[in-house]
C-alpha cells in the first residue's frame, strides 16, 4: 500500500497534465473524424439516392448539382447580396432580441408588482404562433426591413425575457442577504449579484436565439422580402428550381452553425475569464 502511495506521489504533475491534454486532443480528433465521416456519408448517400432514383431528384436535387449552382452564383455575383441581407437581419435580430429581452427581464425583476401583472401575458405571448403576427407587422410597418425585424424580435425577445427572468429568480438568496446585511440598495443587489450571476444564462440565451432569429428572419422574408435567402427559397418553389431551394437551405445551415460556434466560443471565453 505504501509503495503504491509512493508511486502516486512521485508522478510529476506536469506529466499528468500533459497526458490529460494529449487524451483531450485525441478525443477531439476522434469526434471530428466521426462528424466528418457522417457528413461525407450523408452527401454521398444523397447523391447515390438521387442518381439511382431512390428519391425524387426533381425535389431533392443532387449535391453535385447544388455545388455547381453555388459556383455559378458565386462567379456571377448574384448569391452574395442575398446572403449578406439575411445574415445582417439575423445578427441584428438575435443581438437586439437578447438585449431587449434582458432589459425587459430586469425591469420585471425590479418591480414585483410588474411580475404579477405581466406573468400571464408572457405566457400567452410565448404560446402564440408568431407567424400569425406576420400580416399585422406587414400592414403596420410596411413590407420591408422593419416587418422582418419585428418578426425576428417577436420570437427572440419573449424567449429571452422568460429565460433570463427565471434565472434572475433562481440566484442564490444568500448572496442577496449578504448585500442587504451591508446596507446595499436594490441597485447594488442587481449590479453586484443578480446580473453577474446571470451572465452565463444570458450568453446561453444567445445560442438559443441564433436558431430563433433565423426562423423569424426567414419567415419574414417568405412574406415580404425581395432579397435574401428566404426570398430565394420562395422563388425556387415558384419556378420549380428545387436545386436553388436546397442551396439556400444548406447555406442557412452552414452560417447558422458558424454563428452558433462563435457564440459557444464566446461563452467559453467568458466563463474562463470569470473562473
Give the model confidence (pLDDT) of 110-146 as tens digits: 888 888 888 888 888 888 887 788 888 888 888 888 9
Q: 97: closest CA among 195, 194, 201, 216?
A: 216
How far is Cα 40 from Cα 105, in angstroms, rounded to an integer?
43
Q: How much is the pTM?
A: 0.84
CATH number of 69-274: 1.10.3720.10
Q: What is the pLDDT of residue 274?
A: 61
What is the reported pLDDT for 11?
60
- Would you give the DSSP letter of residue 45? H
The whole-angstrom separation of Cα 62 and Cα 209 is 31
Closest by CA position to 207, among listed 270, 122, 150, 151? 270
Q: What is the DSSP letter of 183?
A: T
Integer Cα distance of 56 and 170 in angstroms: 51
d(CA 165, CA 29): 39
Low-confidence ranges of the chain (pLDDT < 50): 8
Phi/psi class of residue 13: alpha, beta or left (left: φ > 0; alpha: ψ in -120 to 50)? alpha
Amino acid at each position: 500500500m505504501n509503495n503504491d502511495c509512493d508511486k502516486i506521489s512521485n508522478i510529476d504533475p506536469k506529466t499528468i497534465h500533459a497526458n490529460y491534454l494529449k487524451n483531450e486532443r485525441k478525443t477531439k480528433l476522434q469526434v471530428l473524424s466521426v462528424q466528418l465521416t457522417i457528413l461525407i456519408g450523408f452527401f454521398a448517400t444523397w447523391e447515390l439516392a438521387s442518381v439511382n432514383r431512390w428519391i425524387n431528384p426533381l425535389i431533392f436535387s443532387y449535391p453535385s448539382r447544388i455545388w455547381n449552382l453555388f459556383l455559378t452564383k458565386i462567379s456571377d455575383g448574384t448569391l452574395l447580396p442575398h446572403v449578406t441581407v439575411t445574415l445582417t437581419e439575423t445578427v441584428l435580430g438575435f443581438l437586439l432580441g437578447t438585449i431587449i429581452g434582458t432589459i425587459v427581464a430586469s425591469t420585471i425583476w425590479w418591480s414585483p408588482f410588474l411580475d404579477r401583472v405581466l406573468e400571464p401575458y408572457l405566457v400567452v405571448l410565448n404560446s402564440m404562433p408568431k407567424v400569425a403576427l406576420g400580416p399585422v407587422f406587414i400592414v403596420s410597418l410596411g413590407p420591408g426591413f422593419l416587418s422582418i425585424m419585428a418578426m425576428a424580435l417577436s420570437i427572440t425577445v419573449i424567449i429571452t425575457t422568460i429565460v433570463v427572468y427565471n434565472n434572475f429568480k433562481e440566484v442564490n438568496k444568500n448572496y442577496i442577504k449578504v448585500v442587504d446585511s451591508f446596507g446595499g440598495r436594490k441597485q447594488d443587489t442587481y449590479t453586484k449579484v443578480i446580473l453577474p450571476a446571470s451572465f452565463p444564462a444570458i450568453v446561453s440565451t444567445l445560442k438559443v436565439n441564433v436558431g430563433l432569429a433565423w426562423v423569424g428572419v426567414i419567415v419574414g422574408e417568405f412574406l415580404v422580402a425581395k432579397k435574401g435567402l428566404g426570398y430565394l427559397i420562395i422563388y425556387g418553389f415558384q419556378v420549380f428550381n428545387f436545386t436553388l431551394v436546397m442551396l439556400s437551405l444548406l447555406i442557412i445551415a452552414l452560417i447558422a452553425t458558424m454563428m452558433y460556434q462563435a457564440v459557444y466560443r464566446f461563452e467559453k471565453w467568458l466563463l474562463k475569464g470569470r473562473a
